[in-house]
Structure 1
């Protein structure tokens, strides 16, 4: 069962704060009475902003905020998100929306209802200046009234001047009835629940008792709140019947004497360990409180220098690991001993053994580190250890070390949700061969085999020799199963060449078995066992081949590798062709452009789906010559249609991520336009948000250079992922193409309708063409018309057509019913 996620909006102004849960697809914000969230301020438009719920490719929900309504009408004063004015913004937790300067709306994504309850504890509304009510139209509609600028000017001018000088310390003012009339930011931050507690709060208690008898008086008192002591300066103001308090934190002064006494206690607690390096660290801040001479000398610091550091500066480990260890000590209240590296002032590392314990004095907690240098001992241990974990003949890791690395790699693969592989390799009939060789020669042969085997793997892979003539390799990270198969093929190819020993050539036959995490198992011992089973399956099929443990993987891998081999020949044998899908203006009943789409017709297996061959082309780099062929063929065909007397129209071509990154892309496009004599503005290149995000700096330059050529650029697949909201204004796209996924079940999906409506309004404001792709039914067409989108692409009007059929369509009158 999935953990519920709550979308929350906190709305506040000077005298008002309200927390609301967002649970419907669309909200309107404005001073108009029909708005979902009504804010009756003259600085706010009737339809000031819209909140639209959206779902990304990972099925996560969030909200857009859009300036104005969903018909494209903008607000008068605009919206600001995180202090930046914007038209549309994809909200992230913590984003702050400012409306008319007076109102702040904070968007939060929370996982626990208790977090919402905590937020609601800080909600308030000041009597006579703010009213808030939930109307009969539902819980998601309410009215907000805030203090006006005129009312704000009526505040006591002298008070504002005097209080402005004390913003770093809490200042609170109440009237003689106990109502809070002023509280500054420091007071709100320090005393979070004072609004709820009111006169029951320790700072306000007894202040209004006989206030009239204290007219013009003032006094000072100490107030203890929790473990902190505050000094409160209180002044009674007769003219305005107000009581003003200035509050200073007096805790440090009161604790000074106790702190002096603690110093001697700390030393007495650690005196028995004084011969070793001693380090005292504040458990809360992790800053160094004290260090003895032995520790300072070990790391090359003076006492004054080390007191300015934290434990993270001294211990050469990941801060998260240090934090976890210290939290465990604090929770279990026991001493821990471990080995780690501490960092010398000259940046080299010292191996130490550390005994850490927790010392507690009243409210203060201190970690005591007893540190001992073990550099020389570890050198001797590691020398002995290396002799125990490496194979003496090949210098490869032995089975012990391999098992350790396999356990670590399995844990990492599980945490990162990635593929991992184990490859078992065995030399066939090596025992018989060994009988014809001396022991030294047999070992030299194994050593040569191991060295050649290592060259087949990547830098992060591990190759080990667990026993005799058996080897095993660990691939801790692999992108896909096809790449594992290619490594197996490389092993077979490299080890196919003979080995030179005793002035003769020896050919070694071998077999390979492969197990994959997580398909074949999630535990190291299971993966090892299945790799050996796959090796046995490989031997059953004959020497010099490889097998995966899973038979479906064997079959699928063979199919993919065969397809890749055929793909290399497809371009030179002219097996590719283009089809064209028209883009139609439904208002004018006119074809305004076509998109060129690549297809592959293989002479043996027939039509191959783009979803099968395009990813392969991207991986192998074949997408580069293929994309160039597509671009040249499409531009040439567009010119042919013009020469046949057809009206000029745009032709769209998809740019792959790899093609977009090619250094010669712009010059290649320019050369094709010159060769085909096609006007640049008739060529439209479609780019996805993923392509832009891969390298934003490169994208700025590439798109800018292409636009200088006069080529049109289209943002493709809009509405999925983060939807490229920021990119739309930055890159000045010519066309916005709304992804087909938003059209499915559109009639029953008001959320997608709202997203499309917002996108159309956005496109209109930015002077872009907006094309909705994937329109397949009359019902979808009518909905698109109602949303005021003029251009569509999809099977309702026409599927992708051959050149001949596209030509016939372009020369015939069209009808959209």
Structure 2
């Protein structure tokens, strides 16, 4: 009952006052409290008011007999699991069967052994408490938000709670007698399965994560806890599996991993994964004294597509490039896409960002293997791209660095492959270039030139030379062409062929071009003020200046 008492309260129901007196005396002697009722109607009223812990109920009474009272008690609040002991002089089988049918917990036949009555009642109360505990545990199992399986010592399923059916789609009737392994995929190795079996058979606890398959074929993840159930002697009789559905958590983890290691647009590995894999590949190649190649790939004129057709068109081109490139690799090269549970590949195709891709080729036998891959890439990328109803053409430039010849670690290999890419572009694009040491010297020189050029305008190191334009018939000067020259205090006279391309690539051509225009115009006006004849002033403009909205 829900009430907390120092002494259990027993309701004694009998139309015989003498029987009530004797029963009460026996129960009081056993440490119980007692309330009495002389008929069935009174018994129901007393029960509702007192909420006793058990009822000692006579069967044969005027009005409502014991069978009717028992049925009525079971229907009242608090009466469903109440211990009801029926007292009867009827010892025929039908009366006993009827007593149990109407809900009696137990029965006692007259004449009653008064000296042992309180022991009988105490036993019934203890058994009822045990049953109540079992009901609570059963309810906890049945309503548990975790899937629960119970198997025999051979692993055959004997019980599954409703949550298991909800998660897996299988009812207990469908899986009874099977082992829990019928759900599982190959996420655990054979060795791990053997360890699981050994652990639980030894009576220890196994914990782990399992990828299972629902009845409809869909995969789901569970965190499993497997332990043994023992009998009073310590022998294992059953195993209990607690399985929590962690599919949502695994999907979140996979999404986080994807964002950390993969490019969202192309689903190719990103710079982070490339760096990790390249470090591992370099160490593996060093141990086996082998070769590996880093190929730096950049799309030619990709900006033109973004500027003319929009960024969506550019994204579609990048996605198509990501689909084409795997077909260019060696037959055993592997391209790592985002797949749950997929092991990291030996070779790697990654997108660094923008229109830059990197291919890592491991276990290279000779440089010609890499060159053949580069040639296939150039051929495939040169094919037309269908973009939103338009057909566009692009090319690509490729820089190649080989371990160990062109670098002994990840950083140097990537830098040298990028340097080779720059020289491939400088050779006219749509080609490949193997790295060579002289390229690094040229790159250092070019960087120094760029650094000095950024200071040249401010330090007034630039000047204009004016080349006359002469009419052949008269020999008269009709105009001049302004020619830009640079004299560096550190580097000396620098040819326009060397610094103009750098100015255009870095954007310095805009402020330099503006200075050229203003200086040339100022000089032309000065000549006019000195009284010289009008001369046509010619100034060369960069293509970048022509599209500059600030052009005077």
| TM-score computed with the length of structure 2 as normaliser | 0.36
Which structure: greater helix fraction?
2
Q: Which has the larger radius of gyration?
A: 2
Query: TM-score, with normalisation over the residues of structure 1?
Result: 0.26
Structure with bigger RCO (C-alpha 8 Å, 6+ apart): 1
